């Protein structure tokens, strides 16, 4: 990235819509309710041949010390520290408000170049409100419509000098890392310590945290380098049971989290050690497995547990009974607050990621299949024997295998599970989903 841009402004002026417009994707949740964005979200923006890093921030508002809005403002200040230029958005349809004036003054003290954006200028009222923006003393306001994309050419012109000035600056940690990053999602119920865990792993207060449940709303991606491994670390909103979701905003947050799981490589399910595996925890775990993602369980708040042995036995027994289709899920006990046990978390993630990517030799698979069918042949189907002729690995991520047989419909689900469990044990594939597909076709290399 040549330079970094931070989007700032009071609540509900269209910052997240503006962010989505520049990155070309609906990454940030957009809602009419003010203050939806709480954490700072980063993305790669592109206008023509101009490419840069962009940060969406929480709405600026006056707040009491150590309150949630105050901590949100601190996240905005951190975003400005890493930025080369700030884009101050004003809602032109409403004109300049006292809050706009207050934060324009505050922004001047940050010693950062400021570009004034008069958003929502698609209407006549917005165009009239643009002229009020001159009262802020920040130069010519750029007329823009984040909703419709009007004004991109003007924004291109004012940002081009920053690309030249900051050409040698590199704020993207992945530029020096070979290969594509591993997508690591942190999921769990609300208030189990997901954002605190991410902050402790990164060694900085990158994400907004606090005692209030449901602080995180967007899925926030943070680039990270762990011992040479490029990682996209993704913090997500807490997942509650559907019956408890009443508000549209929480519904959008949950949808964002589920999309994150779908596109993740490895998912860390954070549990509250004092509560253990609730029904919702198991629902989340099953969702991860059904999507074919690798799963690691982090037992957070471990420092509050007195009988560690009994607690581990309890969770292992619950997993064995509730998730028998995936045996050997890694369990790491830790404390996001104190850092206890966190040294074991990322090695467990890397190990399960390698297993999830493993490709097995076809010859070894077919020797294994022959031994399995000799030891325990498939049951008869309509009085006829079912022959499993050939096996190959169709793909990785997760490990997926295809078995060729003349009668796939004659193989019961129980025998399919027998083969999956045997595959897991023989080829050391603990903790990852395994998919086994039966195909009706003749293998030309095997005599019938």
pLDDT tens, 331-371? 999 999 899 999 999 999 999 999 999 999 888 999 999 99
- Encoding tokens for residue 301? 């708040």
Q: What is the pLDDT of residue 35?
A: 43
Question: Residue 266: which pLDDT band, with cuts at 50, 70 and 90?
Answer: very high
Stretch 401-413: mean pLDDT, rounded?
Answer: 87
The answer to whether 4-165 and 362-440 have equal CATH topology is no
Q: What is the pLDDT of residue 343?
A: 94
Q: What is the pLDDT of residue 40?
A: 65
Cβ atoms 357, 396 nearer than 8 A: yes
Q: What is the mean pLDDT of the chain?
A: 80
Q: What is the pLDDT of residue 109?
A: 80
**Domain boundaries along the sequence of the chain:** 4-165, 173-356, 362-440
Give the percent of the chain with pLDDT over 70.
Answer: 79
Give the lowest-confidence range in 92-96, 122-126, 329-333, 363-367. 122-126
Q: Which residue has the higher pLDDT, 32 or 395?
A: 395
Question: Residue 251: which pLDDT band, with cuts at 50, 70 and 90?
Answer: very low
Q: 4-165, what's its fold?
A: Rossmann fold (3.40.50)
Q: What is the pLDDT of residue 170?
A: 41
pLDDT at 299 over 90: yes
Q: 173-356, what's its fold?
A: Rossmann fold (3.40.50)
Q: What tens digit of pLDDT does each residue of 151-187 get? A: 888 898 888 878 766 443 343 333 333 457 999 999 9
- Encoding tokens for residue 296? 């690691």
Please report, for residues 286, 369, 434, the alpha-carbon distance to residue 291 in angstroms, rounded to integers and kept in the order given. 8, 26, 11
Q: Let me know if domain 362-440 sits in CATH 1.10.3720.10.
A: no
Stretch 177-199: mean pLDDT, rounded?
Answer: 82
């Amino acid at each position: 990235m040549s330079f970094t841009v931070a989007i700032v402004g009071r609540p509900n002026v269209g910052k997240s819509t503006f962010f989505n417009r520049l990155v070309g994707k609906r990454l940030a949740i957009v809602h009419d309710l003010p203050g939806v964005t709480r954490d700072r979200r980063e993305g790669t923006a592109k206008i023509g041949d101009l490419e840069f890093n962009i940060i969406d921030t929480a709405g600026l508002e006056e707040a009491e010390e150590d309150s949630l809005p105050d901590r949100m403002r601190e996240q905005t200040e951190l975003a400005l520290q890493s930025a080369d230029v700030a884009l101050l958005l004003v809602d032109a349809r409403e004109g300049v408000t006292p809050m706009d004036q207050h934060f324009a003054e505050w922004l001047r003290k940050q010693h950062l170049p400021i570009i004034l954006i008069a958003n929502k200028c698609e209407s006549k009222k917005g165009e009239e409100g643009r002229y009020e923006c001159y009262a802020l003393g920040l130069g010519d306001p750029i007329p823009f419509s984040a909703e419709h994309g009007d004004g991109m050419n003007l924004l291109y012109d004012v940002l081009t000098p920053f690309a030249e000035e900051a050409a040698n600056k590199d704020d993207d940690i992945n530029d020096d890392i070979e290969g594509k990053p591993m997508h690591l999602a942190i999921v769990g119920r609300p208030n189990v310590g997901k954002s605190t865990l991410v902050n402790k792993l990164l060694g900085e207060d990158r994400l907004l945290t606090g005692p209030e449940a449901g602080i995180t709303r967007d899925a926030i991606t943070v680039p990270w380098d762990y011992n040479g491994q490029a990682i996209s670390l993704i913090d997500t909103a807490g997942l509650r049971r559907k019956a408890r979701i009443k508000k549209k905003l929480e519904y959008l947050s949950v949808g964002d989290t589920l999309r994150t799981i779908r596109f993740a490589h490895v998912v860390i399910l954070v549990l509250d050690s004092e509560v253990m595996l609730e029904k919702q925890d198991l629902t989340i775990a099953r969702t991860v497995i059904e999507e074919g993602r690798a799963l690691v369980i982090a037992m957070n708040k471990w420092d509050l547990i007195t009988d560690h042995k009994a607690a581990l036995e309890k969770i292992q027994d619950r997993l064995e009974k509730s998730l028998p289709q995936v045996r050997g899920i890694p369990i790491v006990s830790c404390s996001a607050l104190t850092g206890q046990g966190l040294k074991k978390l990322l090695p467990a993630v890397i190990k399960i990621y390698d297993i999830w990517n493993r490709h097995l030799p076809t010859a070894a698979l077919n020797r294994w299949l022959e031994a399995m069918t000799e030891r325990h042949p498939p049951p008869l189907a309509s009085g006829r024997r079912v022959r499993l002729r050939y096996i190959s690995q169709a793909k990785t991520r997760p490990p997926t295998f295809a078995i060729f047989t003349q009668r796939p419909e004659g193989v019961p689900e129980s025998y399919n599970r027998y083969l999956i469990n045997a595959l897991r044990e023989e080829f050391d594939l603990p903790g990852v989903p395994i998919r086994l597909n039966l195909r009706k076709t003749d293998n030309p290399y095997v005599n019938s």
